[in-house]
């Protein structure tokens, strides 16, 4: 495991150098880390493999508000360090947003999306529920948000952690939920 110092963060970077012409750069999603590639790194293949942890992962405590812009800046710095001139980026979930931005580099030949956040999510009940809970606009939504958040506080020990991280203001990923994931313009873009 290597570590890169980027913007004041010590970023863990997994590198498997197979002396290949093509490098696969994996970008993890929401509340994940470089470990998301799991067994892929152990497979025999004809690619170099790179995966890194972004701020907000269990390996990199954020020192500022998390945003897609911050994660993209960190990822661009990692991309600059990759020596290969033929890079395929694989972005998982939220990592797909970051991968889209990095795909503009001439070094990047392909962007592959793994379970990306789909633009039609803005039409789902989940999106409406999150928006009501995190960014209430009407008086009715403010009351509903307080009930939901109060219930989450009471039930922290039984509530699903994967739900809590989206709506818990104490979780560093909450800022991305509030400012980026609930931004319909960004999602549809």
Q: Which residues contact 36 (CB under 8 A, 6 or more apart)?
A: 26, 28, 29, 51, 92
pTM: 0.82
Q: What are phi and psi of 129, to 5 degrees?
A: -65, -45
The Cα 97–Cα 81 span in angstroms is 20
Q: How many other C-beta atoms are found inside a 10 Å radius of the C-beta of residue 142?
A: 12
pLDDT, tens digit only, all 189 positions of the chain? 799 999 999 999 999 999 999 999 999 988 888 988 888 877 778 899 999 999 988 899 888 888 999 999 999 999 999 999 899 999 999 899 899 999 999 999 999 999 888 778 888 888 888 888 888 889 888 888 777 777 666 555 555 666 666 677 777 778 888 888 888 888 777
């Amino acid at each position: 495991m290597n570590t890169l110092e980027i913007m004041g963060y010590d970023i863990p970077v997994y590198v498997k150098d197979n002396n290949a012409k093509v490098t696969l750069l994996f970008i993890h999603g929401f509340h994940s880390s470089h470990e998301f590639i799991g067994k892929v790194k152990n497979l025999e293949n004809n690619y170099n493999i790179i995966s890194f942890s972004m701020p907000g992962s269990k390996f990199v405590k954020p020192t500022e508000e998390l945003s897609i812009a911050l994660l993209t800046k960190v990822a661009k710095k990692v991309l600059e360090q990759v020596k290969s001139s033929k890079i395929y980026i694989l972005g998982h979930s939220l990592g797909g947003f970051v991968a889209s931005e990095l795909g503009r580099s001439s070094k990047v030949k392909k962007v592959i999306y793994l379970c990306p956040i789909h633009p039609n999510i803005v039409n789902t009940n989940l999106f409406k529920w999150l928006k009501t809970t995190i960014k209430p606009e009407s008086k009715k939504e403010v009351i509903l948000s307080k009930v939901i958040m109060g219930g989450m506080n009471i039930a922290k020990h039984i509530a699903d952690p994967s739900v809590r991280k989206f709506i818990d203001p104490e979780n560093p990923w909450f800022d991305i939920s509030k400012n980026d994931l609930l931004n319909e313009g960004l999602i549809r873009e």
